[in-house]
Amino acid sequence: MAFVSGLNQLLLKVNKLALESISEKYPALHPEVNPFDLYRVHIAEVLSPITGVAPEKIQPVIQWTNTLDKGDFVLPIPALRIKGAKPDALGAEWAAKFPQDDPLFEKPVAQGPFLSFFAKGAPLSQSIIPMIRELGPQYGRNRFLGLKDPKDPTKGKKRIIVEFSSPNIAKPFHAGHLRSTIIGSFLANLYEGAGWDVVRINYLGDWGKQYGLLALAYEKYGDEDALKKDPIDHLFRLYVRINAEKEDDLAAIEAKKKEGQDVTDLLANSLDEQARRYFRKMTDHDESALALWKRFRDLSIVRYRATYARLNIKFDEYSGESQVSEDSMEKVAKEMADKGITREDQGAVLVDFTELLPGKEGKRLGKTVIRKRDGTALYLTRDIAELLGRYEKYKFDQMIYVVASQQDLHLQQLFKIIELLGYKDVAQRCQHINFGLVMGMSTRKGTVKFLDDILRDCADHMHEVMRKNETKYSQVEDPEGTADTLGISSVMTQDMSGKRGNNYTFDLAVMTSFEGDTGPYLQYAHTRLSSIKRRANVTDEELANADLSLLTEPHAVNVVRMLAQWPDVAQNTLRTLEPTTVVTYLFRLTHVISSSYDQLQVVGSDPDVKAARMALYDAALIVVGNCMRLLGLSPLER
C-alpha cells in the first residue's frame, strides 16, 4: 500500500515507529483507516522528551481543529495537568524546542495555553491522496470501532438495532415520520461505517380499534382497483370518511340522549361499537378479519418499500404493534404486578413512579396507565413486551429509538420500567434519539402530508428551477429523474443542517435553491468535480503515478488538509449522533474546493501538473461522494 509505506518511512526517520508498534502502544488508534492518527502519535512521541510527559498521556488530549487557520491539531496544555507551571509559558518553551526540521509539521505556534500544529503540505499530499484513491468508498469508514474486541476480530461485531420511521398504516406519513426516517437512516449508515452489525427496524402502527373501523369502511366503500394502485392513499381516504361518519353518529346519539331518549340500542349498534367488535374478532384470531387486515398491511408495506427506495433506505424487518402477542403482554403485566411495579386504581392498572422512586426522578416520571378499565392494554405495555422480545431475539449491544421529542417522557418511563423489572443491563443498552418539529409543512393541495406528496412537491419545484436555465437543462439526460434526486437532496439536507433537537420551518424556496448551503448546492459541487474528471481525460495509471510534490499552492494544500479530516469527522459523529456534524464539514469542504478552482486549473495545464491536480480533485470527488452517501444522498454525476 503506497500510503502505508510512504508514511511509515517518515515515522521511521523520526522515532522508529511502525504501524504494528502503534497499534500495540495506542490500541484506540488505527492509522490504516485514519491517517491523522499517525500524525497524533508523531506529535505525542516528539513532544514527550521535550515536556517530560509520557506520549500515551499526550496523545488523547490532542484535538483536531474546525478551521484551517487554527492549524490541523491543537494541544490544550492545561489538559496535561502539569503542576506548578503556567500553560502559556510552557507553550512558548515547547514551541521553541520543537525540531525545526520535523518531517511532518511546521514549527508549532504557541497561542496562550494552546499549541497549534500545522501539517507540512508535501508529505500530507503524498500520503493522503493515494490513500483516499486506494480506499475509495471505504475512506472515512472505520471497521475497528464496531468490533467486540478490537484485538481479536474473530469475536465478531457489536450489534445495534435502529428503530426508525414507524408510520401508522392508513394515517398520514407526517413530518415527524419524515424526520425519524431521515435521521434514523443516517444513524444506521453511520454505525455500519463504524463496523457495527446494524439491524434496521420499522415498527409500524398497524393494530388497534382503528383497523376495525377501517375494515367497516372497506366493506361499505372499498374500491379494489384503488387499493391496488395506491393502498396508503385509498385506506387513508376511507379512514377519514368513516371517522367523520363515526363522529356524526356519536353526536346524533348524544343529542337524543340529551332529549331523554333511551339510546342503549343505538350505542350497541354505533359505528364505534361495531369497530370495537370487529377489532375483538381480530384479537380472537378470526381468520377472515385477520386476512383483510393482513392484506391492508402487506399492500401498504409494498408501497412504503418503493417510497423508501427513492430515499436509499432499506429495512431488515417490518415489525409493528400487531407483532406483539397478547401472551407476551400478559406475561409482562403479571411480572410487573408480582414485583410491585403496578397497582390497581378504580379498575385501571397504573405505574406510580412517585411511589416507586425517591425525589425528583419519581416526580419527573409521574404516573402512567398500563391497562384501561375495560382491560385494553396501552402502548407502554406493548412497548415493554416488544423491547424484551427484541433483546431475546437479537441480543443487541445497543438499541436506538429515533422518535420525536414529544415522546421523551414515554421512553424515559419505558426504560425505567425495564430497569425496575430487573433488566438494568438491557435498559442501559437503550437510547432515545429525539428531534424537534417541522413547522409549516403542507402540500400544494392541502395540509395532509404523505411522504410521496412531499417528494413530488420538491421534485416539481426543482424541475421548475432547472427549466429556468435552458442551456443546462437541454444537456441533462434525464431531467425528471435528476429533478427527483435534487428534490430529495433538498428535503434531506434541510432536515440535517441544524441540530436535530431544533425545530425548523419547511421552506421549499430556500431548500431547493442552488445558492447557499442547500442539497442542490452539494449536488452541484459533486457534478462539477465529476465534470472536471470527464473533461481532463486522465487515465487511472496517470493518476496513480502523478507527481504529487507539484501540489505546492496553498489552495491545493488546504483541500488536502480538509480531506484528511474526514475520518476524524465521521468518528466524532459517533459521539455527537448529529447529522449536522457531517453536513457542516461537507459544506466547509465544498467551499474550500470551490475556492481552489481558479488557482488550480486542470484542463490546459502542463501534463504533469494536470495529472497531479486531477489526482487531488479525484480524491475530493471520492470524499464528497462518501459524505453524501453517509447522509443518504445519491450523488449525481451530471
Q: What angle do CA 573, 576, 580 make, to 5 degrees?
A: 70
Four-point Cα dihedral 577, 583, 586, 590, nearest 10:
-170
What is the Cα Rg of the chain in Å?
Answer: 30
Give residue-wise pLDDT tens across range 37-56: 999 999 999 999 999 999 99
What is d(CA 31, CA 261) in angstroms, rounded to the nearest whole number? 82
Residue 279 CB contacts under 8 Å (≥ 6 apart), including other chains: 208, 209, 211, 212
Q: What angle do CA 513, 514, 517 make, to 5 degrees?
A: 85
Give the per-residue pLDDT at 443: 45
Give residue-wise pLDDT tens across range 356-382: 998 999 999 999 999 888 777 788 999
Select the more confidently predicted residue: 95 or 302.
Answer: 95
Provide, rounded to the nearest whole percent, the portion of the chain with pLDDT above 70. 95
Closest CA to 420 of 345, 370, 347, 371: 370
Q: Is 115 exposed, middle or buried (0-12, 13-18, 19+ CB in 10 A)?
A: buried
Q: Which residues are catalytic?
A: 171, 174, 177
Grid cell of 621 as nine digits: 470527488
What is d(CA 126, CA 199) in angstroms, rounded to the nearest whole number? 39
Instruction: Please answer whether residues 433 and 401 qualify as being in contact, where contact means their C-beta atoms are separated by less than 8 angstroms.
Output: yes
Q: Which helix (H) or strand (E) holds 109?
A: strand 109-111
Residue type, 461: H
Give the per-residue pLDDT at 169: 82
Of 227-231, 335-339, 535-539, the range with the lowest mean pLDDT is 227-231
What is d(CA 538, CA 605) in angstroms, rounded to the nearest whole number? 12
Instruction: Please answer whether residues 625 and 516 qualify as being in contact, where contact means their C-beta atoms are separated by less than 8 angstroms.
Output: no
Closest CA to 389 of 203, 574, 207: 203
Over residues 581-602, mean pLDDT: 97
DSSP 597-609: TTTS--TTS-HHH
What is d(CA 37, CA 27) in angstroms, rounded to the nearest whole number? 11
Give the per-residue pLDDT at 508: 79
Over residues 332-339, mean pLDDT: 96
What is d(CA 106, CA 101) in angstroms, rounded to the nearest whole number? 8
Give residue-wise pLDDT tens across range 59-116: 999 998 988 999 999 999 999 999 888 999 999 999 999 999 999 999 999 999 999 9
Over residues 542-568, mean pLDDT: 96
Instruction: Please answer whether residues 601 and 457 qualify as being in contact, where contact means their C-beta atoms are separated by less than 8 angstroms.
Output: no
DSSP 170: T
Four-point Cα dihedral 600, 601, 602, 603, nearest 10:
180
Q: What 3-state DSSP class applies to 147?
A: strand
Over residues 308-337, mean pLDDT: 93
Instruction: Please answer whether residues 111 and 537 qualify as being in contact, where contact means their C-beta atoms are separated by less than 8 angstroms.
Output: no
- Within 1-141, residue ranges assigned H as helices are 2-15, 19-25, 35-51, 55-58, 87-97, 121-135
Confidence band for 455, pLDDT divided at 50, 70 and 90: confident
Four-point Cα dihedral 517, 518, 520, 521, nearest 10:
10
Over residues 117-146, mean pLDDT: 94
Count CB atoms within 10 A of the CB of residue 42: 26
Provide, rounded to the nearest whole percent, the portion of the chain with pLDDT above 90. 72
Q: For 115, how many CA atoms within 13 A lie in the half-sphere containing its CB? A: 28
Pairing relationship of beta strands 504-505 and 438-439 according to DSSP bridges: parallel
Give residue-wise pLDDT tens across range 593-620: 999 999 999 998 999 999 999 999 999 9
Q: For 631, how many CA atoms within 13 A lie in the half-sphere containing its CB? A: 32
Give the per-residue pLDDT at 66: 82
Give the per-residue pLDDT at 442: 53
Q: Which helix (H) or strand (E) holds 367?
A: strand 367-371
Over residues 294-321, mean pLDDT: 90
Secondary structure (H, E, C), 275-310: HHHHHHHHHCCCHHHHHHHHHHHHHHHHHHHHHHHH
Give the per-residue pLDDT at 509: 79
Largest CA distance in the chain: 99
Give the per-residue pLDDT at 6: 47
Of 73-82, 166-175, 383-392, the range with the lowest mean pLDDT is 166-175
Closest CA to 457 of 495, 427, 421, 483: 483
Residue 412 CB contacts under 8 Å (≥ 6 apart), including other chains: 364, 365, 432
Residue type, 494: Q
DSSP 154: G
DSSP 83: T
Q: Which residue has the cell 378504580?
A: 346
What is d(CA 340, CA 72) in angstroms, rounded to the nearest whole number? 57
Give residue-wise pLDDT tens across range 246-293: 999 999 999 999 999 998 999 999 999 999 899 989 988 999 999 999
Instruction: Please answer whether residues 490 and 458 qualify as being in contact, where contact means their C-beta atoms are separated by less than 8 angstroms.
Output: yes
Over residues 435-454, mean pLDDT: 68
Confidence band for 187, pLDDT divided at 50, 70 and 90: very high
Does the pLDDT value for residue 448 go beyond 60? no
What is d(CA 157, CA 159) in angstroms, rounded to the nearest whole number? 6
Give the per-residue pLDDT at 1: 44
Pairing relationship of beta strands 159-163 and 197-204 according to DSSP bridges: parallel
Does the pLDDT value for residue 445 go beyond 60? no
Pairing relationship of beta strands 109-111 and 114-117 according to DSSP bridges: antiparallel
